[in-house]
A and B are shown apart, each in its own frame.
Chain A
Amino acid sequence: MTALLEIDTLQVAVAGGPTLVGGISLSVASGQTLGLVGESGSGKSMTAHAVLGLFPAPSIRVTGGAIRLEGVDLTRLSADARRRLRGRRIGMVFQDPSSFLDPLLTAGRHIAEAFRAHGVTTDLAARIQAALARVDLPASVAGRFPHELSGGQRQRVLIAAALAMDPAVLIADEPTTALDVTVQAGILDLLRREAAARGLGVLLITHDLGVVAETCNEVAVMYAGRIVEQATVHRLFRTPRHPYTQGLLASVLDPGRDAAPFAMPGAVPPSHAMPAGCRFHPRCPLVVDQCRTIPPAMVDGVACWRAGA
């Protein structure tokens, strides 16, 4: 399996300010779904923005590393070349379908936008219908406005638009977080199915471990802008090795468990006040002196000095 998307020691920072992503490396292969897990402020969304080349503020930029899509380093491309890849080779699905759809345009127009942006202007009606069918939506949805659709339908429209030009990679940034639990399963099902059918490489960003368990093959856990552990889903859930991962898994509410709910003490450090050494050390139950000064290197999928413990 060749790597479709390769992120190589990526660094993202605010110009003249704090680092948001401190050197991470990931790879997503065709037909594979990689889950990127972390709390708010871990830098996982910034990673997604970096791949697309679209940051929410002009002062944020990639300050190091490379992002290779099918072998081509995106960070070295011209703005126009970059734009042409968006939607065409990389698709992105966002968190809250209500705010990510233009309230004044119909669902069909949104999908048409994806086609038009890449020069496809013939047979649009048929293409839109086909795109909607692939996400299990009837053709009548094309003429409806976002406010006339349910949350689940809106997200499906966004997915249809993202996959319209048959990209190789799909990035899904918290695709089900804003949806009702009953609708979530349907969306995840759809993503899994489409990924398998199209051989998509999917980068799924989420804070919900349940979603990861259901949809991903591989998982990477992010904390304070760095990856602390990376493994197959199976291995991570069975034998988590980083204290943060262990804490995350322990925090999941489980009615079958006897013990009181577990909460990790402390909070994610703000980007302008990062601890030295291992960024997790202030909250870590296994901390030793080395952790406070030297950032641990990633060895065998985990970045922790106490990994063997």
Chain B
Amino acid sequence: MALLSYTLRRLLHAIPLLLAVAILNFCLIAATPGDPVTALIGDFPAPAEYVAKMRQDYGLDQPLPVRLGRYLQHLANLDLGYSFANRMPVSTLVAARLGATLKLTGSALAVAAVLGVALGLLAARLGGWVDRLTRFGATLSYAMPEFWLGQLLILAFAIGLGWLPSQGAAPLRGAAAGWAGFVEGLRYLLLPASALALRYLALIARITRARAVEVLRADYVLAARARGASETRVLLDHVLRNAAPSVITVIGYNAGLLLAGSALTETVFGWPGIGRLLFDSIAARDTPTMLAILLMVSASVVIANLLTDVLHRLLDRRVA
């Protein structure tokens, strides 16, 4: 089947990319000024035996290619290294935070996608002030740094009005059970997700509107109208379908960035996710964790792009 062979080809194309990223990671460790081991340990006061063992472990006396090989081998076993600052393997550390990040960025992207497409279509269909307002709003939202938006939201809703909490994903005393817990979780999610979603929203609305306007001017839409199709039908049957590829590309690429796209927002809201972990690990100079996150995010971008390409192939039979 053509689709399968395309998928396999893309996969083959993606593997060298992933490899290149891993090698880049390795180079970043190796190129860090100073001894790689001290770079890895950072300011953490490790006893001399640990340091010696690390040197041995990392085979620092071995030539570079061998060290690279061992690094890649570790990766293949999903061994992302050891975090001295947190005293646990990086993989454990990351796994614990993954859920929180996905909850935040996933919900933000999902909401932004639905609202963004709707807004873009509305702007294209109605034109006039709705269109101008949407475009203005999108340009404005896109210019604002997301962490500042987060702070503004906190100032307005958490401090100013006191309606919503400003930090964390759950109250300090622990999350409540059942339905009450779910609603509570939503209260904590609302502000950070909004801060994050606004940027995605602006992007998606913009591209949807641009494509929708093009399609609405197309000859085949004129022909559809000549057959008596209503504007609603035109939007649903022709515009959505033809605008979808561009929108999917944007959503797909941002889905790839889901793991790290929220680093800034998580920091502002103290959200216990990967982004926050990145911030903490930079502050603590916890190199293995930093690099593991870089690798994860890069891998997720490559995979997301792959999936997007395959999705495009699936939807557009023209590219046979």
Binding site for B on A (CB under 8 A): 52, 54, 56, 83-88, 91-92, 94, 96, 99-105, 109, 113-114, 116-118, 145, 147, 158, 161-162, 164-165
Give the distance in Å from the alpha carbon of A83 to the alpha carbon of B227 in the complex.
Answer: 8
Residues of A within 8 A of B318 (CB): 103-104, 145, 147
Q: A100-B222, A104-B318, A113-B233 are in contact. List 16 more A-B contacts (CB 8 A).
A: A83-B230, A86-B225, A87-B229, A100-B219, A102-B241, A102-B242, A103-B242, A104-B241, A104-B316, A113-B224, A116-B229, A117-B227, A118-B228, A145-B318, A162-B227, A164-B227
Q: Nearest chain-B residue to A102 (Cβ)?
A: B220
How many Å lie between the Cα of A117 and that of B227 in the bound state?
7
Q: A102-B242, A104-B316, A145-B318 are in contact. Are A114 and B227 (CB under 8 A)?
A: yes
| In the complex, B180 has a CB within 8 A of chain A | no
Q: Is the CB of A99 within 8 A of B219?
A: yes
Q: How far is the CA of A118 from the CA of B237 in the complex (A)?
A: 15
| Chain B, range 188-235, C-beta contacts under 8 Å to A | 218-220, 222-230, 233
What band does the interface of chain B fall in when counting residues whose beta carbon is under 8 Å from A?
A: 20 to 34
A109 CA to B223 CA, complexed, in Å:
13
* B55 located at the interface, meaning its Cβ lies under 8 Å from any Cβ of chain A in the complex: no
Inter-chain contact B237/A54, CB cutoff 8 Å? no
Residues of A within 8 A of B227 (CB): 86-87, 91, 113-114, 117, 161-162, 164
Chain B residues numbered 150-181 whose CB sits less than 8 Å from any CB in chain A: none
Indicate with 1 or 0, residue by residue over B276-320, a CB within 8 angstroms of chain A CB atoms. 000000000000000000000000000000000000000011100
B223 near A117 with CB under 8 A, answer no
5 sample A-B contacts, Cβ–Cβ < 8 Å, listed by A number: A83-B225, A85-B228, A86-B227, A103-B318, A161-B223
B218 to A: closest C-beta gap in Å: 7
Question: Which residues of chain B have C-beta atoms less than 8 A from A114's C-beta?
Answer: 227-228
Q: Chain A residues near B242 (CB, 8 Å)?
A: 102-104
- Within 8 Å by CB of B233, from A85, A86, A91, A117, lies A117
Residues of B within 8 A of A (CB): 218-220, 222-230, 233, 237-238, 241-242, 316-318
Chain B residues whose C-beta falls within 8 Å of the C-beta of A113 in the assembled complex:
224, 227, 229, 233, 237
Structural contact, A54 and B224, CB atoms closer than 8 A: no
In this complex, what residue of B is CB-closest to A92? B226
- Asked whether, in the complex, the Cβ of A117 is within 8 Å of the Cβ of B228, the reply is yes
Give the top 7 A-B pairs by smallest Cβ distance, nearest first.
A87-B228, A117-B228, A87-B227, A99-B219, A86-B228, A92-B226, A102-B220
Q: Which residue of B lies closest to A84 (CB)?
A: B228
B218, B224, B233, B316: the one within 8 Å of A99 (CB): B218
A87 touches B218 (CB 8 A): no
CB distance from A119 to the nearest CB of B (A): 10
B230 and A105 contacting across the interface, CB-CB below 8 Å: no
Bound together, the chains give a CA A154 to CA B65 distance in angstroms of: 61
Interface core residue of B223, B230, B317 (most chain A CB under 10 Å): B223
CB < 8 Å neighbour of B226 from A52, A102, A105: A52
> Which chain B residues lie closer than 8 Å to A164 at the CB level?
227
- Interface pair B219/A117, CB less than 8 Å apart: no
* A94 touching B223, Cβ below 8 Å: yes
B residues near A94, Cβ cutoff 8 Å: 219, 222-223, 226
A162-B318 Cα distance, complex, nearest whole Å? 25
A101 touches B223 (CB 8 A): yes
Q: In the complex, what's the smallest C-beta–C-beta distance from A38 to chain B, in angstroms?
A: 21
- Complex Cα distance, B225 from A164, in Å, reads 14
Chain B residues, CB < 8 A from A117: 227-230, 233
| Neighbouring A residues of B223 by C-beta, 8 Å | 92, 94, 100-101, 158, 161
Q: Are B241 and A88 in contact (CB under 8 A)?
A: no
Q: How far is the CB of A80 from chain B (nearest CB, A)?
A: 9
Q: In whole Å, how far is A199's beta carbon from the nearest beta carbon of chain B?
A: 21
Residues in B with CB closer than 8 Å to A100 are 219-220, 222-223
Compute how far the CA of A104 lies from the CA of B312 in the bound complex, rounded to whole angstroms.
12
Chain A residue numbers with a CB within 8 Å of B218 are 99
Q: Which residues on A sit within 8 Å (CB–CB) of B229?
A: 87, 113, 116-117
B76 to chain A, nearest CB (A): 42
List the A side residues contacting B226 at CB < 8 Å: 52, 54, 86-87, 91-92, 94, 162
CB distance from B17 to the nearest CB of A (A): 30
A101 engages B220 (CB within 8 Å): yes
Q: Are B228 and A54 in contact (CB under 8 A)?
A: no
B residues near A145, Cβ cutoff 8 Å:
317-318
User: Cβ of A96: which chain B residues have Cβ within 8 Å of it?
Assistant: 219
In angstroms, Cα B218 to Cα A258, docked, is 46
Roughly how many angstroms separate A83 CA and B224 CA in the complex, as a whole number?
Answer: 11
In Å, the complex CA distance between A145 and B317 comes to 8
Task: Report the bound CA distance from A26 to B102 in whole Å.
Answer: 67
A199 to B223, alpha carbons, bound, how many Å? 23
Q: What is the bound-complex CA distance between A243 and B222, given in angstroms?
A: 36
Q: How far is the CA of A54 from the CA of B224 in the complex (A)?
A: 11
* Alpha-carbon separation in the docked complex, A85 to B225 (Å): 11
CA distance A27 to B219 in the complex (A): 27
Q: Which residue of B lies closest to A52 (CB)?
A: B226
CA gap between A117 and B242 in the complex, in Å: 20
- List the A side residues contacting B228 at CB < 8 Å: 83-88, 114, 117-118, 165
How far does the Cβ of A162 sit from chain B's closest Cβ, in whole Å?
A: 7
CB closest chain-A residue, reference B220: A102
Residue on A with the closest CB to B317? Answer: A145
- The residue on B at minimum CB distance from A98 is B219
Q: How far is the CA of A165 from the CA of B229 in the complex (A)?
A: 13
The distance in angstroms between the C-alpha atoms of A158 and B181, with both chains bound, is 58
